[in-house]
Structure 1
Amino acid sequence: MTQKLASALYEGVVSHHRLRPKRHKLRYRVFSFLLDLDEIDALSSRLRLFSRNRFNLFSFHDADHGSIKAKGQKSGKSADLRPRVEAVLNAHDLGDCAHKIELLCYPRLLGFVFNPLSVYFCHRSDGSVGAVLYEVSNTFGDRHSYLIPAGPDGVDKKGVLRQSCAKGFYVSPFIDMEADYHFRIAMPGDTVAVAIRETDSKGAFLTAAFTGDRNALSDRNLLSAFIRYPLMTLKVVAGIHWEALLLWRKGMKFHKRPAPPPQSVTYVLANANEAAQAGKRSSQ
Structure 2
Amino acid sequence: MDTRPRLFVGQVHHRRLRPAHNAFTYPVFYVQLPVAEPAATRGPMFAVDRWGVLGFRTADHGPRDGSALAPWIRARLRERGLPDDGPVMLQCFPRVFGYVFNPVSFWFCHRPDGALIAVLAEVNNTFGGRHSYLLHHPDGAPLRDGETLAADKVFHVSPFCEVVGRYRFRFHLDGAMPRVHIDYDDAEGELLRTVIAGRPQPWGTRRLLGAFLRMPFLTAGVMLRIHWQAFRLWVKGVPFRGATPPPRPRLGKP
1:132 touches 1:150 (CA, 8 Å); kept in 2?
A: no
Whole-Å Cα distance in 2 between the matches of residues 154 and 5 of structure 1? 18
Any stretches of 5+ residues in structure 2 without a counterpart?
A: none
- 1:147-203 CA deviation, whole Å, 9 max, x = no partner? 1214566433xx323200110000000011112100011126642101111112322
Aligned equivalent of 2:15, options 14, 17, 20: 17
Give the alignment's TM-score, normalised by structure 2.
0.94
Aligned equivalent of 2:50, options 39, 50, 54: 54
1:204-283 to structure 2, matched below 5 A, reads: 204-268=190-254
Give the alignment's TM-score, normalised by structure 1.
0.84
The count of residues paired between Structure 1 and Structure 2 equals 252
Quick check: 237-246 or 185-194, which moved more? 185-194
Residue of structure 2 in register with 1:128 after alignment? 115
Residue of structure 2 in register with 1:63 after alignment? 59
Residue of structure 2 in register with 1:192 after alignment? 178
Quick check: 122-131 or 34-43, which moved more? 34-43
Give the CA RMSD over aligned residues.
1.6
2:32 touches 2:89 (CA, 8 Å); kept in 1?
A: yes
Q: Does 1:106 align with 2:59?
A: no
* Pair member with larger Rg: 1
Q: Once the 2 structures are TM-superposed, how far is the Cα of residue 38 of structure 1 from its aligned partner? A: 2.6
Whole-Å Cα distance in 1 between the matches of residues 35 and 234 of structure 2? 39
Classify the secondary structure of the residue corresponding to 1:13.
Answer: strand
Q: Does 1:142 align with 2:142?
A: no
Whole-Å Cα distance in 1 between the matches of residues 48 and 85 of structure 2? 21
Quick check: 4-13 or 107-116, which moved more? 4-13
Whole-Å Cα distance in 2 between the matches of residues 188 and 34 of structure 1? 15
- 1:80-132 CA deviation, whole Å, 9 max, x = no partner? 111111121122222x1441001110010110000000011100111111111
Identity of aligned residues (%): 37
Whole-Å Cα distance in 1 between the matches of residues 72 and 175 of structure 2? 26
Structure with greater helix percent: 1
